[in-house]
């Protein structure tokens, strides 16, 4: 412990820290405040520049009290990520229920991402911070990789709908899964920076998929033909 009272490293709380745990109601409210404050700070500064003391101060509690709720800064970061993923993908799951085809589901998810970014820019900011933090901090990358599979399945499920409806050829599945992942994650990151540009980007993506962006070509020789060899290569 430093002279400022900040605990360095990632120590687990001692039994003394666990004495006097707050009542359940207050505990839930405080935990919510901690997660929200930590997400905002991590989004603004990144994992390496945020201390437990910063989070405690922003949450209106002492550094010691913080350890009633988390064991370390890494533990806090992972909890913030899990909380954010639950928030985002619950909204996404609700959104995809409004359509029965690939294009409708993808459009609904893009609209949901835009609305979430407008409501709380720190969500998009944290998504962007995670991408940077996983490159800079191996411990963060290792832990986050352990539960990435569920998120990947969401992208696969949307593409599978497109295959079932005939909108997507089965041979294009790997490419389309990557496309959906890139579009959703990329646009989720940018909404916090400029909601107006994010709105335009969504309109561009949906227009591209609906075939309303490009002027029809007169020459059949200019058409792009996707054959199985190209898709598999």
- Choose among 68, 72, 69: nearest CA to 20: 68
CB 6 within 8 A of CB 73: no
- Choose among 82, 178, 90, 63: nearest CA to 126: 82
Q: Side-chain half-sphere of 197: how many Cα atoms within 13 Å?
A: 9
pLDDT tens per residue, range 85-141: 888 889 999 999 989 999 999 999 999 988 888 888 888 788 888 888 988 999 888
**Domain span(s) for CATH 1.10.357 in the chain:** 74-211
Tell me the whole-structure pTM to 2 decimals.
0.72
Q: What pLDDT score was predicted for residue 36?
A: 95
What is the phi/psi pair of residue 227, to 5°? -100, 170
CB-based contacts of 87, cutoff 8 Å, min separation 6: 116, 123
The b/e string for 96-120 (b: 16+ C-beta within 10 A; e otherwise) is beeeeebbbbbbbbbebbbebbeeb
Q: What pLDDT score was predicted for residue 83?
A: 93
pLDDT tens per residue, range 150-187: 678 889 999 999 999 999 999 999 999 999 988 888 77
Cα radius of gyration rounded to whole Å, the chain? 22
From residue 51, alpha-carbon distances to 31, 55, 62, 77, 194 in Å are 17, 7, 13, 11, 28
Whether CATH 1.10.10.60 fits 24-72: yes
**Domain span(s) for CATH 1.10.10.60 in the chain:** 24-72
Distance CA 5, CA 26 (A): 24
Least-confidence region, from 145-149, 150-154, 206-210 = 145-149
In terms of CATH architecture, what is 74-211? Orthogonal Bundle (1.10)
Distance CA 175, CA 130 (A): 24
């Amino acid at each position: 412990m430093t002279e400022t009272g900040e605990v360095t490293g990632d120590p687990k709380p001692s039994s003394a820290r666990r004495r006097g745990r707050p009542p359940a109601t207050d505990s839930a409210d405080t935990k919510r405040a901690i997660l929200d404050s930590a997400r905002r700070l991590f989004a603004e500064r990144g994992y390496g520049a945020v201390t437990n003391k910063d989070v405690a101060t922003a949450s209106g509690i002492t550094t010691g009290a913080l350890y009633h709720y988390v064991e370390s800064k890494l533990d806090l970061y992972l909890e913030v990520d899990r909380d954010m993923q639950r928030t985002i993908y619950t909204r996404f799951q609700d959104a995809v229920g409004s359509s029965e085809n690939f294009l409708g589901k993808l459009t609904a998810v893009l609209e949901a991402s835009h609305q979430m970014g407008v409501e709380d820019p720190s969500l998009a900011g944290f998504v962007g911070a995670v991408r940077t933090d996983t490159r800079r901090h191996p411990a963060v990358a290792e832990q986050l990789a352990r539960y990435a599979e569920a998120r990947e399945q969401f992208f696969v499920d949307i593409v599978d709908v497109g295959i079932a409806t005939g909108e997507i050829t089965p041979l294009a599945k790997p490419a389309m899964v990557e496309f959906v992942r890139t579009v959703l994650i990329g646009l989720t990151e940018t909404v916090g920076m400029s909601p107006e540009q994010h709105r335009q980007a969504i309109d561009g993506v949906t227009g591209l998929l609906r075939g309303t962006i490009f002027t029809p070509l007169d020459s059949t020789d200019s058409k792009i033909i996707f054959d199985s060899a190209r898709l598999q290569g």
